[in-house]
Amino acid sequence: MGEIIKRATGLLILEVVNSNPNGDPDRESDPRQRSNRLGEISPVSFKRKLRELVEDVHGVVFKAVSKDLSLDDSEFKILESRDRVLIEINKELSTDIKKFNQNDFLNSKFVKKYWDARLFGNTFLEKGGHKGYIKTGVAQFVMGLSVASVNMVRHSNTKKAAVEEGKSSGMAPLAYRVVEHGVYCMPFYINPSNAHKSGCTVKDIELLKVLIPYAYDHTRSAIRPDVRIRHAWYMEHKNALGSCADYKLIEALTPIRKGDDNEIPISPNMTPSTSWSDYSVPTGLPNDLRDKLFSCVDLMENI
C-alpha cells in the first residue's frame, strides 16, 4: 500500500438505444426517470456490473485482465456477493467486531480479500459491531443523468409457451420497458484521502480502469441489449491533493444537445434525441485544463 494514489476525475458518456439501462423497482421496472423526464442510471447498478465481471473468475474478462495485471485471484473477491455468508465475513473482519484497531483492520483477511470493499467502501456491519469497520470508498460513482429528456416506451412480451394453466401461449403485459434513445453522463471520482482507511491499492484502481470499458458489453441482457460507453474519460491529477477543480473537467467534457443555448449542458427542456448525431460531443479537454493534469485518457481507446 506504499504506492501513491493520485486524485482522479472520471466521466462516462453512455448512449442508450432501445434498452432499459436501470429499472426502477418502485415503478414496475420502468427505466429510471425524474419528474422532469431526465433519465437516471444509479451508480449502484454500474458498480454491480463491475462486481459481476470480477466475481466471474472463469469468465473471459476476468481471466484476461487477471493475466495482464498479474492478479492473485484470492485478493480480488467480491464482498457484495449474492451468496455471501455473514458469519464468515465477521470472522474475516476481526475476532471481536465490538472492538476496532485500524492497523489490525488493514492487515485483516477482510481487507486482503475483498476488492470491492477496498475500492468502493464497506457499509457491512453486524449488530453490535464497531462503526470503525464502516469505510467510505476511494472510488465514488455519481448518479448518471441524461443530457436531454428521454422517451420511454412499453410493449407486451409474448411467449410460445404458456405461463398460465389452460392457455397455449403466454404474455407478459407491458413487460418490455425501454428508453428509445438517450445520452447519459456519469461522473466518478478517485479520492486518495480514503485509501489508507480502506486499504485500497494502485492495483485496485488499475483493475477498475481496465474493467470499465467492458461493463455493458459483457453484461448484456434481453432488456438491456444496447448500452454503449461512448467515452470513459479518466483524468489523473498531478498529485494526491488535486490540481484542477473537478467540476471544470466534467463541464468541459459533457455533451450538449444540439439546439440548446449552450449555457446549460444538461437540460430537461430539450426534446428526446433519436441518434448520437443529435449531440455535440467534446473529443478532449481544452489545453488550459489539460495542462493542469498529469494525464487525460479515454479508457475506451484501450480496447
197-250 pLDDT, tens digit per residue, is: 999 999 999 999 999 999 999 999 999 999 999 999 999 999 999 999 999 999
pLDDT of residue 33 exceeding 60: yes
Question: What is the rounded distance in angstroms from the CA atom of residue 223 to the CA atom of residue 29?
Answer: 10
| pLDDT tens by residue, 76-120 | 999 988 777 778 888 898 888 889 999 999 999 999 999 999 999
Whole-angstrom CA distances from 7 to 31, 67, 139, 240, 257 are 32, 26, 10, 5, 30
Task: Give the pLDDT score at 203.
Answer: 98
What percent of the chain shows pLDDT beyond 70? 88
Is pLDDT above 50 for 1? Answer: no
Mean pLDDT of 279-287: 97
Distance CA 262, CA 167 (A): 55
CA 12 to chain centroid, in Å, comes to 9
3-class secondary-structure state, position 220: coil
Contact 107, 1 (CB under 8 A): no
Task: Give CA–CA dist 166/46, Å, rounded.
Answer: 41
The answer on pLDDT for 266 being more than 80 is no
Supply the mean pLDDT for the chain.
90
pLDDT digits (tens, 9 = 90+) for 52-72: 999 999 999 999 999 999 999
What one-letter code names the amino acid at 283? T
pLDDT in tens, 12-29: 999 999 999 999 999 989
- State which amino acid sits at residue 209: K
pLDDT of residue 265: 62
User: Is pLDDT above 80 for 171?
Assistant: no
Angle made by CA atoms 240, 282, 228, in degrees to the nearest 5: 90
Q: What is the pTM of this model?
A: 0.90
Neighbours of 84 (CB within 10 A): 13
Q: Cα separation of 10 and 299, whole Å?
A: 10
Q: Confidence class of residue 166 from pLDDT cuts 50, 70 and 90?
A: low
Which of 143, 119, 138, 140 shows the shortest CA–CA distance to 207?
119
- Residue 167: strand, helix, or coil: coil
The set of cell numbers assigned to 86 is 455473514
DSSP string, 260-284: S-SS-SS-TTSPPPSSGGGEE---S
Could you tell me which of 152, 185, 139, 211 has the C-alpha nearest to residue 279?
185
